[in-house]
Structure 1
Amino acid sequence: MVAQQEHLDCSPQQIEQMREVFVRQQAAFRSDPMLSAEHRITLLKTLRRMIVQEKSALVDAIRVDFGNRSADETIVAEILPSLHNIDYTVKRLRRWMKPSRRSVGMLFQPASARVVYQPLGVVGVIVPWNYPLFLAIGPLVSALAAGNRVMLKLSEATPVTSQLLKTLLGQLFSEEMISVSLGSAEVGVAFSQQPFDHLLFTGATSVGRYVMRAAAENLTPVTLELGGKSPAIISSTVPMAQAAERIAFGKAMNAGQTCVAPDYVLVPRTRLDDFTTAYREAIQHLFPKLEDNPDYTSIINERQIKRLAAYILDAEQKGAQIIPLFPALQGRRLPHTLILNPSDDMEVMREEIFGPLLPVVTYERIEEALHYVTERPRPLALYYFGDDRKEQERVLYQTHSGGVCLNDTLMHVAQDDLPFGGVGQSGMGHYHGHEGFLTFSHAKSVFSKGGINSARLIYPPYGKTIQKIIYWLYLR
């Protein structure tokens, strides 16, 4: 609380410092607009060494900010994916940077065409609180790989982690290359108003709308990763224990405070009791107890606890069946809770949950489940459990979502060779791997000619010659 109050008190000074850094980064980019592959790889390897050397400090900082989060969970969900991302990028970066040869039409020969990939300039990244390391490092790696200068705005909800990252990055990189801004929402507003060459935001849809409006004032292109209500569809034939275990893992990671966590489950009506039993067993296997369990992640703060408690109360008052899977709240450890028979007017079905609550909706036929998904805003992720290939194809091509897992949850995000991003209200644009390099690069078209200019044949004055050429090349 003290750290958060300090951020609030000095916001005007932080805003001015942030603006000054932005100007310096612009000047630094103009003076060296095309960093070599060696320079970029050195930056990435330096970032990797920092994460490895400061692993324990980063894990401890995140644990303090959350109240409790298992060191192993932080390593699995934040440290290892960040390192793997860097290794994947370093291995492929020189190939990504090579110009791409393109074809030239007959009418324009002799000539050559290629696409060269240039850095955009200064990239802004607004980082959320739920994965304060992974969601800072991922965009940072992509932006650095593309040769940009980067400004990070870290969350005020994780003050210890944010301050540690600011300190560590400040020790290794100049502010003209990587800078970190801390502070309240006021600083975030000012940050989004800077005329970045690209702005990436991860967070709530409501805030994403503001970020996009602010960016539009400067014609700044944006990548928005917004989340939404990601469904999990259970087929009529999949082994229930298998599906329930994998859904439980996806919901349990970070206590459901994950943008791609399963937000609700669609299950055949005849299999509802089987799912309820299997899900309870899966959760209680992952966490034999709630009290003093070091593996059970806390909700980030009291504000989020109250929000989730209000969802439960609202659902109960409107007729849903509430099934807590553990005894009462332990500190900020909120029990995993099933919500059966939810209706569309319940807050838990209208808002992204971002916590360990799981509504369960029943259906009769797969067409009904698909209709339920498609008549709602497009989610960031969709999960389908079943081995019928034809039904898998129906789910893939009759629904829209940012990404899909078949018979799993979350794991598509960890694949560096897959783009990550939303669609519709769950976001726009994507990054990770090669797509991240492309997002933060300008693909410049280059057309080259020598001394011979066959195109003179189509110069004015026009007459029968050009008509014959056009007919011979295209119309015959």
Structure 2
Amino acid sequence: MNILDKSYKSNIEELKNKVITGQTESISWRIQQIRKVSQLLDENKKEIIKALFLDLGKSELEALSEILLIKEEISLIKKNLRLWMRPKKVKTPIYLFPSFSKVIYEPLGCVLILGPYNYPLLYLLKPLVNIFSSGNTAVIKPSEKCSSTSKLIKKLTDKYFQKDILFTIEGDYKESIKLVEQNFDHIFFTGSTETGKSIMKSASTNLTPLTLELSGTNPVIIFKNANLEIAAKRIVWGKFFNSGQSCMAPNHIFVEKEIENQLVKELKKFINIFYGEDPIISKNLSKLEKKQFSITSELLKKYKKEKRILFGGTCSKKRMKISPTILKVKLHDNNIIQKELFSSLLPVIGIDNKDLALKKINQASKPLAIYIFGGNKKIHDHISKVTSSGTVCINDVMLPVLIPNLPFGGVGESGMGKFHGEEGFKNFSNQKSITYKGFLFDLDFRYPPYNKVMKIIKFIFKI
């Protein structure tokens, strides 16, 4: 069905009218919708886990992590929403007495969510509960690359929600393009930087505001005083979770040359512990998306030919998997350092000092995350000040995305806008200012002619 059909247009109008008529203003309405999301997850866990396995080969734990992160967000919102919704008083200058000002948070209207393939449930329903917390309605478009999950989301949302509150549309990327061209009140998109640019261009026709959660070439910097065993363990977990198809996954490692060989040894050790001697058959290693598998395979061929594979490098087209692979990379290899790999390839770059790494980081697009292991507070503060990124995480990876009340989002080419918790509530609200002025003390100074007031102003400011 064409998205421009009158039936779809009328659905969007219904969703907008639900908000305009004030039916979504109350906290009870908002909590009711959020509880429905929770109920949907609780009553359909097995189906969700199965769909994520069929589409992405996700282990039960990886599938459950998507569910649990949404549930954690729901719990935070239910506890704090009443407080977030309260009008905020703003101080008004004394010379405007008697008057007062405040900010209220009103719903934006109908929000479009375009879901990604790598976390096809999480990045539809997590922003959705933020959207409901702000009193909005929504249209969601699951990723066509995850057909089983997309069909299940359509079936479940139709079951649990009225169509004037939440409407799910399936289809390919052409449907997404047509959706973006509609007059939504906000668009939330998770995906690649290039696609984000295209969506931004299309949305500009209607001046539709955007939240873009995009890709990032997230570097890791490891200093010689780091605990290499724990650092390697955490990096291997974060990098190869979902086969590296996470926007927050470590992309490449800068490591001081003195400890480079020891780090590689520790990385190899934990890859074997986590995924076994043949990771391709490991149930803990998920599949790569078809296009991503093809891109990664070609890159792998190049590094095999150049004999720069330090570990791994096994491929299976039948299983759509590439084993966790460590690459030996030089500092001037910009093609791989400045590119989001979004796969199970992990380049390691030996450096003489941190300044070389910082120079490379600042030459590339701003990352979603910078990870630091070791160093000290002075070094941590310095790196935070001289680089720009969505987040900085010290002695671990991926943690910022796991903290529900921490604002999450990118900067520059890694995204715009924040969500999670209160920041998500504010992101999908219009912060409307209201000012009240009484009728007492209506002094003439503000009105023309300005002769008297100008004399006072010149005296005070010595003009």
**TM-score range relative to shorter protein:** over 0.9
Counterpart-to-counterpart distance in 1, 2:238 and 2:428? 30
Q: Percent identity?
A: 30
Q: How many residues align?
A: 461
Residue 388 of structure 2 corresponds to 400
Code of the aligned partner of 1:312: L
Residues 447/386 of structure 1: CA separation in 2 closer, same or farther (3 Å cut)? same
Q: In the alignment, is the contact (CA less than 8 A) between 2:18 and 2:24 conserved in 1?
A: no
Residue 150 of structure 2 corresponds to 162
Counterpart-to-counterpart distance in 1, 2:334 and 2:365? 16
1:121 is aligned, of 109, 118, 122, to 109
Kindly indicate whether residue 289 of structure 2 is the aligned counterpart of residue 300 of structure 1: yes
2:132 is aligned, of 144, 165, 169, to 144
Residues 124/291 of structure 1: CA separation in 2 closer, same or farther (3 Å cut)? closer
**Equivalent position SS for 1:232:** strand
**Equivalent position SS for 2:149:** helix
Residues 52/342 of structure 1: CA separation in 2 closer, same or farther (3 Å cut)? farther
Q: In the alignment, is the contact (CA less than 8 A) between 2:325 and 2:345 conserved in 1?
A: yes
1:384 is aligned, of 372, 384, 402, to 372
1:299-325 Cα shifts (integer Å, max 9, x gaps)? 133x221111011123444x4611343
Counterpart-to-counterpart distance in 1, 2:196 and 2:314? 36
Code of the aligned partner of 2:73: N
| Structure 1 residue 408: Cα displacement | 0.5
Greater mean deviation of Cα atoms: 325-334 or 109-118: 325-334
Q: In the alignment, is the contact (CA less than 8 A) between 1:123 and 1:196 conserved in 2?
A: yes
**Equivalent position SS for 2:46:** helix
Residue 404 of structure 2 corresponds to 416
Q: In the alignment, is the contact (CA less than 8 A) between 1:109 and 1:454 conserved in 2?
A: no
**Equivalent position SS for 1:285:** helix
Residues 172/153 of structure 1: CA separation in 2 closer, same or farther (3 Å cut)? same
1:56 is aligned, of 36, 46, 66, to 46
Residues 455/98 of structure 1: CA separation in 2 closer, same or farther (3 Å cut)? farther
| Structure 1 residue 27: Cα displacement | 2.4
**Equivalent position SS for 1:420:** coil
Q: In the alignment, is the contact (CA less than 8 A) between 1:114 and 1:447 conserved in 2?
A: yes
Q: In the alignment, is the contact (CA less than 8 A) between 1:422 and 1:428 conserved in 2?
A: yes
1:267 is aligned, of 255, 274, 294, to 255
**Equivalent position SS for 2:322:** coil
Residue 335 of structure 1 corresponds to 323
Residue 89 of structure 2 corresponds to 101
Code of the aligned partner of 1:27: N
Q: In the alignment, is the contact (CA less than 8 A) between 1:311 and 1:347 conserved in 2?
A: no
Structure 2 residue ranges without an equivalent (≥5): none
- Aligned-residue Cα RMSD (Å) equals 2.1
Counterpart-to-counterpart distance in 2, 1:386 and 1:132? 34
Code of the aligned partner of 1:296: L
Greater mean deviation of Cα atoms: 343-352 or 361-370: 343-352
TM-score (norm 1): 0.92
1:387-430 Cα shifts (integer Å, max 9, x gaps)? 51111111211111111211000011111111111101111111
| Structure 1 residue 57: Cα displacement | 0.9
Structure 1 residue ranges without an equivalent (≥5): 1-9
Residues 320/219 of structure 1: CA separation in 2 closer, same or farther (3 Å cut)? farther
Kindly indicate whether residue 308 of structure 2 is the aligned counterpart of residue 321 of structure 1: yes
Residue 25 of structure 2 corresponds to 35
Greater mean deviation of Cα atoms: 458-467 or 204-213: 458-467
Residues 18/348 of structure 1: CA separation in 2 closer, same or farther (3 Å cut)? farther
1:202 is aligned, of 190, 198, 207, to 190
**Equivalent position SS for 1:447:** strand
